[in-house]
Structure 1
Amino acid sequence: MSESFSNFLINSCGKILCLMGQSEWPQYFPDCGGTSQSPVDVATTQTKYDPSLIPLTPLGYSQHGNRPFTLYNNGHTAMIELPEWMGLGGLPWLFSAVQMHLHWGNAEVHLKTLHVVHYNSELYPNMSAAMTQRDGLAVLGILIVTGEETNPAFNNILNYLSRIRHADQKVLIPAFDVQSLLPKDLGRYYRYNGSLTTPPCYQSVIWTLFHERVQISKAQVGLRHLQCTEVYPACFN
């Protein structure tokens, strides 16, 4: 994984973000004032069926090999670096996996999401080159709801969060089946062209938001707390 991407928001944008509100982002990052910004509020009753869209095909997600994954606290969230031989089919180009990370919101009642990030390895040599291009990135969005039943797949991540409580801490964790984190129905989803959700807000993302949600338990949500940098004081709250 490109370390320049994993630290991009912290190193390039963080201190400025601390001093301004979201409405001021476009003054410093012009793309944040663009017309294809994410996230979007998907009005499901107004969506239209597109027969040209086919089910996505995770490539190598279940064949993780024996090398451990790196779990990293980047000061904003917990991120897992993924090997580039994992990829994504069903799009106009081949996309190679880079990382996945969790967004928890600021309360248990809020929706949580898992994002799996890929770059267009058919057209660009690496993540850094792809992230500024309109067809450069593909992100899977998985909505997570809280229920009573434990989701064992997410324990592969959550059980290790206590070992990266501080920003910039890393830990090696056993490799696991990444596809087990995804919903079972990969054929029903919402597709739109959007952006990175925080500055620099590059409008370079093909977003796929799955209709089916996955569930984790309240006890699993309680494992989420990390200590953050001054850049992102609200992470995992």
Structure 2
Amino acid sequence: MRCSIQLSFYILLLLSFNCHSHVVEWTYQEGEVDEANWAKKYPLCGATHQSPIDIQKKKVVYNSEMSSFELEGYDGPLHGDFELTNNGHSVQIGLPFTMKIKKGLPHVYTAVQMHLHWGGLDLETSGSEHTIDGMRYMAELHIVHYNSELYGSFDEAKDKPEGLAVLAFLYEDGHFENTYYSEVISKLTTIRYAGQVTKVKILDPLAMLPENLENFYRYQGSLTTPPCTENVLWTVFDSKVILSQNQIKLLENTLLDWHNKTLRNDYRHAQPLNDRVVKSSFRVKMPKGEYSIIK
């Protein structure tokens, strides 16, 4: 009996050690490697072509040659076991390799995962990473792809030239539930703790996006998290995705980070544009009725 008690105690001690042994390499708000100090550990985070940015409409250059995307494998519903993960910084959904960007970019890019950024901390209800004319939206979705023409895998491409392309979508809140997000949001409670994983059986990626995919901004940037590698071709769509206020609240209040604190405001602030140019596939209308610059 005594041996059994000692063994049980040892197992509990081991489990406790494993639960708290994750090394938190970086954070957004707190700790030695918070956003303000990323560059000390990850030098590229202090480089000159970083993301996200504030898209200033008056500086956007309209390029009529930027064609609309041709997406392959996005149309659902897709059936399978798609991993839904709380990685301590965001909620991430693994995507099938059949999802690709076939046209509209210099190469073919294959999807890897998509993840969300949101607000919620200290009554800050907006949490998008990219802003438009200084306005931060409710949340932001990133669909991450790697260059499958030049590289054999995401791991090979993630730090290589022209390695990555990310499609970014901004969110607004509305009165009605967006049913295409219902399963994902309902399962957040099953991955409350950082490191937990569950499965999503049905995914409809195209239905999770806005109907208009023709109007977008494009610029060259970086990963918005360490190591901040500057090899990302960003496409930020102008049309917004609508989630209900309740769906936004669940997103902001369900998950915990590696410190077992509610995961909120998981976004990086806007970085200087410097010598880069933001292009658009459409003529951006200004508040005064003017239009963006034409290339």
Fold-level similarity (TM above 0.5): yes
Q: Identity of paired residues, percent?
A: 37
C-alpha contact (below 8 Å) 1:196/1:203 kept by paired residues: yes
Residue pairs, 1:29-40, within 5 angstroms: 29-40=42-53
Which residue identity lines up with residue 105 of structure 2 in the other structure? L
Which residue identity lines up with residue 180 of structure 1 in the other structure? A
Residue pairs, 1:58-97, within 5 angstroms: 58-63=71-76, 65-89=78-102, 90-97=104-111
Q: Which has the larger radius of gyration?
A: 2
Helix, strand or coil: the match of 2:202? coil
Q: Give the structure 1 partner of residue 230 of structure 2.
A: 203
Deviation at 1:185, TM superposition (A): 1.0
Q: Distance in 1 between matches of 2:171 and 2:27?
A: 30
| 1:31-64 superposed Cα distances (whole Å, 9 cap, x missing partner) | 1121110000000222111112111122101145
Q: Distance in 1 between matches of 2:198 and 2:92?
A: 11
Q: Give the structure 2 partner of residue 28 of structure 1.
A: 41
Judging changes above 3 Å, is the alpha-carbon distance between structure 1 residues 182 and 234 closer, same or farther for their aligned structure 2 residues? same
Q: Give the structure 1 partner of residue 263 of structure 2.
A: 235
Helix, strand or coil: the match of 1:67? strand
Instruction: Tell me which of 138, 144, 150 is aligned to 2:165.
Output: 138
Q: Give the structure 2 partner of residue 100 of structure 1.
A: 114
Q: Distance in 2 between matches of 1:88 and 1:129?
A: 18
Gaps of 5+ in 1: 1-9
Give the structure-1-normalised TM-score. 0.88
Q: Distance in 1 between matches of 2:159 and 2:126?
A: 34
Q: Distance in 2 between matches of 1:167 and 1:210?
A: 30
Q: Give the paired residue count.
A: 227
| 1:64-114 superposed Cα distances (whole Å, 9 cap, x missing partner) | 543121101111111000011111122111100000001012332442101
C-alpha contact (below 8 Å) 1:13/1:200 kept by paired residues: no
**Residue 134 of structure 2 corresponds to residue 118 of structure 1:** no
**Residue 207 of structure 2 corresponds to residue 180 of structure 1:** yes
C-alpha contact (below 8 Å) 1:62/1:176 kept by paired residues: no
Which residue identity lines up with residue 145 of structure 1 in the other structure? E
Deviation at 1:168, TM superposition (A): 1.0
Alpha-carbon RMSD: 2.1
Q: Distance in 2 between matches of 1:204 and 1:32?
A: 12
Q: Give the structure 1 partner of residue 191 of structure 2.
A: 164
Judging changes above 3 Å, is the alpha-carbon distance between structure 1 residues 86 and 12 closer, same or farther for their aligned structure 2 residues? farther
Gaps of 5+ in 2: 1-21, 128-136, 266-295
Judging changes above 3 Å, is the alpha-carbon distance between structure 1 residues 234 and 203 closer, same or farther for their aligned structure 2 residues? farther
Which residue identity lines up with residue 163 of structure 2 in the other structure? G
Helix, strand or coil: the match of 1:172? strand
Which residue identity lines up with residue 108 of structure 1 in the other structure? T
Deviation at 1:116, TM superposition (A): 0.5
Q: Distance in 1 between matches of 2:31 and 2:161?
A: 28
C-alpha contact (below 8 Å) 1:58/1:179 kept by paired residues: no
Deviation at 1:21, TM superposition (A): 4.0
